[in-house]
A and B are shown apart, each in its own frame.
Chain A
Amino acid sequence: MIETKNLTKVYKRGIESVYAVKDVTLSIKKGEFVSIVGQSGSGKTTLLQIIGCMDMATSGILKINDNEIQNSSNKTMTKLRRETFGFVFQQFYLMPGLTVYENMVMPLLFSRNKSDKAYVDSLIEIVGLKGKEYNLPSQISGGEMQRVAIARSLINKPQCILADEPTGNLDSSNSEKIFELFSRLNETGLTIIMVTHNQDLAKRTKRIIEIKDGAIR
């Protein structure tokens, strides 16, 4: 469902050019569970952002479901983020004033999708947050916060989850829970691309892409 060809992202730092992503050509099929590994600063986040239509590549081709995305309008990019992708961040980014439930359904405000009660309930069940729906983020643990964020990424029924170091702020047992959750979601056919530092977790995914200095090794 995702194809890139010679994808490159250059940042200008003064007169110096930094190749955050360099000639990346890859193809990820529907239903894959891919981990992206590499040292800090190797360009993993930048690559994930370009794939997820949050950022534009400087050059190269990006195809999502066989549609070329390069030079698309803002609207098209927003639509893809809203409908095709779900994002999970290292810092969770829950809204502090909203309950667990409200944080989960927040993207519905923008997709104008009707809140499907049965689906939301099933999500709460899947991420294991039953009984905590009306807690505020400050009242739950880090592992639980990340599970709220995962439920939020699933609310618009995306085809692909993009997770940037989702376990980076969690201890090993919580990391394990998040990974298991991703594995189960992947078994239902969801494509998952996960950037991680955790070698053990990466080894358990079906495919590992290693990045060094912006390029695939």
Chain B
Amino acid sequence: MNLFSLSYKNLLRHKTRFFLTLLAIMSSTAVLFSLLSFHRGFDRELSKELENTGVHFMIVPSGCPHEVASLILHGAVIPKFLSPDLLKEVNKLDSIALVTPILVFQMANQQKASVVLIYGLEFDALKTLKPHWKINGSLPSNDREIILGYEIAQHDNLKVGDNYPIGQALYRISAVLEKTGSQDDAFVYLSIKNAQGLLKKDDAFTALAVKVKDTANINEVIESLTKDIPGIQIVTISQILNSLSSVANSAKILSLSVAFIAIIISAIGLMNSILMSAFERRQETGMMRAVGAGRLDIFLIYTIESVLQTFTGSIMGIVISLIGSKAIETIVKKMMPYSPSGEMITFNLDIALMCLALSLSIGLIVAFYPAWIASRISPVEAIKS
């Protein structure tokens, strides 16, 4: 027997209390660990996704805030359009490898009394615009065919081959997008010509996605474009990355604050439970002092009890959040303004160690006061009742 096994046996004396304290520490550590892992994965997947797009920058109407501009890549509705001539002008430039128009808008669906989000694009450019996409079915081969986002297909229980009504016409679903976990899931994708027809605005588009021939002179291309063409704004992929991260940052901070509050609450619960057992075990502690325990011994017994609980609880929390990572990921993605696709919660040793270190320090800090109180109990307590 040593002080550790003594402390452990003391904990087992109140199994319910022990279990509840563990549960609280486990839950709060699970939340913290999942969130930190998620945020790490978020940044990693976001930059991976944006690096993968063949697009180097987007041209959007000027006055369009960065956030909105960046969301165009993933679908956001803005009420401004670019001049129809712009596409031809940009196309003329030697330095440009590809330029493709995008038209995003929402329209009422009379039959369903709901709003449909329309994403018009040139399907030829799909591989460049959305390289990470996985679709079931085949790419639309004519103007009457469309791709449905995952959520729409789920919601209306639609499959490849079914018809989907937009405006007055029926469209054939040639493909359904696999779940991306991002805004992409909520759109209907159709050829830009069709989209323009639905909007009754020929040649209208909300953005141009541009790929340059030589990435070394992206900056020169952007500079000359902004100088020559009025009324436009150019947003590069790295700016998009930055603004997406900054949009995500406030959500990150909010979610982390929730995790820290959960940790503080469970720490207070732990402190309360140690304090309670310190008071309950006055006589027993007095007896230990009488049979030769020093103040430090008593202090250690209570401290070890605390640390054993935070340590066990946080290991359980980490394991639980790894086991439930899929479910947790889905929930957290819903809370974020934008999420890249891809698996985000993975095991990171440094995050796990950080969570353990945090729980150990909380165990030590929280134990200090109760352990100090217990260490002051006089041996006389044991005999006087």
Chain A residues with a Cβ under 8 A of chain B: 45, 48-49, 52, 54-55, 74-75, 78, 81-83, 86-87, 89-91, 93, 95-98, 102, 105-111, 152-153, 156, 164
Contact = CB atoms under 8 A, between A and B. Distances in A.
Nearest to B3: A109
Given A75-B294, A87-B290, A81 B1 contact: no
- Top 4 closest pairs, chain A to chain B, by CB: A82-B292, A93-B287, A54-B379, A97-B9
22 contacts: A45-B383, A48-B383, A49-B383, A54-B290, A54-B379, A54-B380, A78-B289, A81-B292, A82-B292, A87-B290, A87-B291, A89-B382, A90-B383, A91-B283, A91-B385, A93-B284, A93-B287, A93-B382, A97-B13, A98-B9, A107-B292, A110-B291
B95 interface: no
A51 B186 CA distance: 83
Given A45-B384, A54-B290, A102-B1, A93 B283 contact: yes
Contacts of A98: 1, 6, 9
B383 A110 contact: no
Using C-beta atoms within 8 Å of the partner chain, give the interface range for chain B: 20 to 34
A45 B364 CA distance: 37
B358 interface: no
A86 B383 CA distance: 14
Contacts of B384: 45
Interface in B1-26: 1-3, 6, 9-10, 12-13
Contacts of A87: 287, 290-291, 382
Interface of B: 1-3, 6, 9-10, 12-13, 283-284, 287-295, 297, 378-380, 382-385
A127 B380 CA distance: 26
A109 B301 CA distance: 11
Contacts, number: 86
Contacts of B380: 49, 54-55
A91 B1 CA distance: 24
A200 B249 CA distance: 82
A78 B291 contact: no
Binding site of B, secondary structure by majority: helix, strand, loop or mixed? helix
Nearest to A83: B292
Contacts of B1: 98, 102, 105-106, 108-109
Contact of B292 (A48, A55, A110): A110
Contacts of A75: 294
Contact of B294 (A45, A48, A110, A153): A110
A95 B382 CA distance: 13
A109 B291 CA distance: 10
Contacts of B294: 75, 78, 110
Nearest to B293: A110
B379 to A, nearest CB: 4
Contacts of B382: 54, 87, 89, 93
Contact of B297 (A55, A110, A153): A110
Given A91-B385, A97-B12, A74 B290 contact: no
Contacts of A89: 287, 290, 382-383
Contacts of B297: 109-110
Contacts of B2: 109
B291 A107 contact: yes
B291 A152 contact: yes
A148 to B, nearest CB: 13
Nearest to A50: B380
B68 to A, nearest CB: 63
Greatest chain A CB density within 10 A among B283, B284, B290, B291 is at B291
A149 to B, nearest CB: 9
Given A54-B380, A55-B378, A87-B382, 16 more contacts: A45-B383, A48-B383, A49-B380, A54-B383, A55-B379, A78-B292, A81-B379, A96-B13, A97-B10, A106-B6, A109-B1, A109-B2, A109-B3, A110-B292, A110-B293, A110-B297
